Structure 1
Amino acid sequence: MLRSTAALMLLFVVLGALLMMQPSPRHFKQLQLADFYLFSSPQQLQLAQHYWDRHSSDYSPELAEKWFVRAAKNGEAEAHYQLAHLYYIFPNLSGLEWEANVLMATDELEHAANSGMLKAQTELADILFKHDNTPDKIRGLDFLARAAKQNDVKAMMQLGRRYCTDPDVQNFTLGKQYLTQAAEAGDKQAPLMLASFYQQGRCGDADLAQYRYWIEKSATDGNVEAMQQLAAQYLQGDGRSQDLLQAALWLYRAQQPDALYQLGMLFQQQPELFTQVKQQVSSGFVAESNYADSIVNCFYLATEQGHPKAAFAFGVLNLEHKDNELAMQAFKIAKDAGYPKFAAQLGDEQAKKDVQIIKANDLQRFFELQG
């Protein structure tokens, strides 16, 4: 009787040690031979991930599948998620036809998504939308909505875009609601998208007041595309009172090639603007340079980024300062981009003026112009 009790206690000790044991690399092969049921689901998941690691000497998709299946059956959402990827990557692993294997993968992903896993929800939504049918799109929207409730900004953006633009699930109210949520959550593209939709009437009726609000918010948040659009409004008086100073300030903040080119042209045409801008900025080349050097910087910085019109303007400045070598280097950048030849043929007014500069300096052959 005493021996039986001692043997039973020893068995309990061994089983307890096995249940508490965390797999280590040197034990993986022994664990492979052990009964699945001896280990907790986190241990099963860990072992599956070891076999799924391509850098492991024990790499084996077949063994990874077996352990992922066991961990998934025991409630590990990550195991469902990893199984989905395993089946997508190895469509013949299960021994079934490709279509059946894809269905298995999608089913595993849905298990993970239904458990609340954010990455599974967004991935499954993408897959469902690719099916391109209304029922699956509605399911995709449901999973995106769950992700949005977890403050996933990308899900909010996708919901807003789809509700606004997809005729199968169109709902302008929800579309603008989700885009607004994304903007309030700090997404930099959401205000610009809202501005575009309000301007073009792509998510309900056009609303220029809302367009102006969102384009200014986007510009204030640092979106350079919005900055350039806002500058164009102030420059042209499009929906706002014309304000060349505000236009110049937004072009300067944008620091993009076309913005820099336009700023240089503005300074040339309106010299008083330079002084006004300089009074309102505390950093950058305008704050640190004089009028002439700032114009040079505008064209030079834009030329460095490949802007053909700026390259031509920079070349003209160097011609005026008798630096013919640097002028021709700049002109070559413009010429290689087809400027001003093709732009003039398309009716660009500045290009037409630049063609006259070419003729005045006898550069027609270099720019391959007729006459």
Structure 2
Amino acid sequence: MNKRLLSLFVGGFFWVFAGSVSAQPSLSELEKQASEGNVEAMFHLGQTYDEGRSVPQDYVRALDWYYRAADRGSVDALYRLGVMFEKGLGVPQNLPQAMMWYEQASALGSANAQFSLGIMYDFGRGLPQNYRKAREYYRLAAERGHAMAQFNLASIYDNAQGVPQDYTEAAQWYQKAAEQGIWEAQFNLAGLYFYGEGVKQDYVQSYAWYAAAEAIIGYSEAKVKQKEIEGLLDAKDVERARLLAAEYIKNYTVKNR
């Protein structure tokens, strides 16, 4: 499977104010906190307008709050400014500006920004394609636990893009992404186990990872591969494979990103 993952899942989150964790505060509470200099409140006001949470979506107001938070050192705001400029939300699309904001956020440890820079170099978005730089940024994000960066880094090694083909390195990063519920990584890791590339050939492991991928996405090819593997195993090993598959489905099938 020669592909890369491009998008980030934005999900719900908890809010931390005045030393406690609670559900999303009201707009007036956020504004009060922001007026008192709370940088997190400034960022979350930006996100509120950015995503239209209980208010009409307003990218211009979102930008204003992101700028305020970024000026006070919010890494998340720096990253979101990069997104706004990359996608042209509230401002004309400006990829060099997006890169500038991403680089600032990356320097402060934002895995999302590092992943986004990896994408820009990988696909030549606003600059010449550079697999070496893409790999460097994917690795930074991957080492911080960014699942999609782990998958993309594995894919670079798997497909020998800008580096010598290295199935062992690919398998290590696919494994990390697979354990975070990235079905594409599970499918590719299953293939490496099936053919014994970068790992010791293991049909039981291959079956289990194919099963996990199929459980997430209903991918028909993964189902076909499970049937093929069952034909290569004796009854005892088929049972072992099914038990391991049940374990992987329980532990590694995150359907949202």
TM-score range, shorter chain: 0.5 to 0.7
Instruction: Give the Cα–Cα distance (whole angstroms) in 2 for the partners of residues 124 and 302 of structure 1.
Output: 36
Structure-2 change in CA distance of 1:272 and 1:226 (3 Å)? closer
Aligned to 1:264: 190
Task: Tell me which of 183, 186, 198 is aligned to 2:106.
Answer: 183
Shift of the alpha carbon at 1:189? 1.6
1:1-371 counterparts in 2 under 5 A?
81-82=28-29, 109=31, 113=34, 115-118=36-39, 119-120=41-42, 122-123=44-45, 127=49, 130-131=57-58, 137=60, 140-166=62-88, 168-202=91-125, 204-208=126-130, 209-255=132-178, 256-269=182-195, 271=196, 273-275=198-200, 291-305=202-216, 306-321=218-233
Shift of the alpha carbon at 1:233? 1.5
In the alignment of these two chains, the number of paired residues is: 202
| Contact 1:163 1:175 (8 Å CA) reproduced | yes
Q: What is the one-letter code of the residue matched to 1:148?
A: A
Q: What is the one-letter code of the residue matched to 2:81?
A: L
Q: What is the Cα-based RMSD across aligned positions, in Å?
A: 3.7
Instruction: Give the Cα–Cα distance (whole angstroms) in 1 for the partners of residues 197 and 113 of structure 2.
Output: 36
Q: Which has the larger radius of gyration?
A: 1
Structure-2 change in CA distance of 1:210 and 1:320 (3 Å)? closer
Shift of the alpha carbon at 1:166? 1.7
| Contact 1:261 1:309 (8 Å CA) reproduced | no
Q: Which has the higher contact order (CA 8 A, sep 6+)?
A: 2
Structure-2 change in CA distance of 1:304 and 1:141 (3 Å)? closer
TM-score, normalised to structure 1, is 0.45
| Contact 2:210 2:223 (8 Å CA) reproduced | yes
Structure-2 change in CA distance of 1:113 and 1:223 (3 Å)? closer
Runs of 5+ consecutive residues of structure 1 not aligned to the other structure:
1-79, 86-108, 276-289, 331-371
| Contact 1:257 1:307 (8 Å CA) reproduced | no
Shift of the alpha carbon at 1:120? 4.6
Instruction: Give the Cα–Cα distance (whole angstroms) in 1 for the partners of residues 104 and 114 of structure 2.
Output: 10
| Contact 2:151 2:185 (8 Å CA) reproduced | yes
Structure-2 change in CA distance of 1:321 and 1:293 (3 Å)? closer
Aligned to 1:67: none
Point out the structure with the larger helix share: 1
| Contact 2:46 2:65 (8 Å CA) reproduced | yes
Q: What is the one-letter code of the residue matched to 1:166?
A: G
Structure-2 change in CA distance of 1:320 and 1:131 (3 Å)? closer
Runs of 5+ consecutive residues of structure 2 not aligned to the other structure:
1-26, 51-55, 243-257
Q: What is the one-letter code of the residue matched to 1:296?
A: Y
Instruction: Give the Cα–Cα distance (whole angstroms) in 1 for the partners of residues 146 and 47 of structure 2.
Output: 28
| Contact 2:79 2:101 (8 Å CA) reproduced | yes
Aligned to 1:90: none
Structure-2 change in CA distance of 1:146 and 1:319 (3 Å)? same
Between the aligned residues of both structures, percent identity stands at 22
